[in-house]
Structure 1
Amino acid sequence: MSDDTIRQILTGTKRIALVGASAKPERASHEVMQFLLGQGYDVTPVNPGLAGQEILGRKVVATLDEAAPLDMVELFRKAADVAAPVDDAIRLGAKTIWMQLGIINEAVAAKARTAGLRVVMNRCPAIDIPRLGLLK
């Protein structure tokens, strides 16, 4: 994916559902959520095991339905476990699926693209935002 496309995604996104959010500060999902909040994004943590609790002052929800409407779904899940949240993102009208570093699922990505979503795989917005000069 080109830098121009990544830039368009990051500048056009406002609401992000972060699937696989963790309350543990040492976890990548926690660090990325903190970074995204600091950049002005409206981030909703999604984790059924933590639903009703708060992470970084944001209420954790159990499902993507509770996070809607949303622009982007950020996935901190194993590649084998991304199909269900991607199906939900398609159904809910998300614009972008972002699979974190190390997460690649070509079959699920193809399904999302066919449904009209943009798909980013094996990347991190906390790396791409500063790299592209988009820090706020």
Structure 2
Amino acid sequence: MAFENPSREQIGDILASAGNIAVVGLSDKSDRTSYMVAYAMQLRGYRIIPVNPLVDGEILGEKCYHSLAEIPEPVDIVNVFRRSEFCAEVAREAASIGAKVLWLQQGIVSPEAAEIAAEAGMTAIMDRCIKVEEAITMNGRNRNIK
């Protein structure tokens, strides 16, 4: 069966209940798409947890981790800014930390990662920008952070 993203309503529900978003591949350079998207989500009240093995220190005022496994708290969404060929491994890492959602950014598609996510009970979203979806689905909607 072909992969299908959740409906806009389901995506809205996911975003309404999300608190921590680990951003894999988050750049520390403010002119990069990953930085701009994560910053916009941070401004909307989401907790951004940077994941980048090449960055020591902080990004967007948050401690940057070298891997998902290093994050010492629960993660709701793993938002991925990596090329498709790296996404299956990210999906495995996301499953191992008990993330609820694997979100591959616009332009990123990995059927293997989606399959890994599904087998682990995670929701997979591919080829969608989290910032755009947040703007569309959360317009006038309240967040239900636990």
Work out the CA distance in 1 between the residues paired with 2:52 and 2:57: 10
- The structural deviation recorded for 1:23 is 0.9
Cα 1:130–1:66 shift into 2, 3 Å? same
- The structural deviation recorded for 1:107 is 1.7
Cα 1:8–1:115 shift into 2, 3 Å? same
- The structural deviation recorded for 1:110 is 1.2
**Larger relative contact order, structure 1 or 2 (CA cutoff 8 Å, min sep 6):** 2
In structure 2, the partner of 1:11 is 16
Work out the CA distance in 2 between the residues paired with 1:112 and 1:122: 15
**Post-superposition CA distance 1:1-36 (Å, at most 9, x none):** 211111011111101110001011111100011011
In structure 1, the partner of 2:135 is 130
Q: Structure 1: where are the runs of 5+ without partners?
A: none
Task: Return the TM-score normalized by structure 1.
Answer: 0.93
Secondary structure of the residue that 1:18 maps to in structure 2? strand
Matched, 1:55 2:59: yes
Cα 1:29–1:135 shift into 2, 3 Å? farther
Which residue of 42, 67, 76 corresponds with 2:81? 76
Cα 1:20–1:134 shift into 2, 3 Å? farther
Work out the CA distance in 1 between the residues paired with 2:66 and 2:121: 25
Q: Structure 2: where are the runs of 5+ without partners?
A: 1-5
The answer on whether the counterparts of 2:23 and 2:38 sit within 8 Å (CA) in structure 1 is: yes
- The structure that is helix-richer by fraction is 1
Cα 1:102–1:134 shift into 2, 3 Å? farther
Secondary structure of the residue that 1:111 maps to in structure 2? helix
**Post-superposition CA distance 1:102-128 (Å, at most 9, x none):** 000012201211211000000011111
What amino acid is aligned across from residue 50 of structure 2 in structure 1? Answer: P
Secondary structure of the residue that 1:49 maps to in structure 2? coil
The alignment yields a C-alpha RMSD, in angstroms, of: 1.4
In structure 2, the partner of 1:98 is 103
What is the count of residue pairs matched by the alignment?
Answer: 135
Secondary structure of the residue that 1:22 maps to in structure 2? coil
Secondary structure of the residue that 2:79 maps to in structure 1? strand
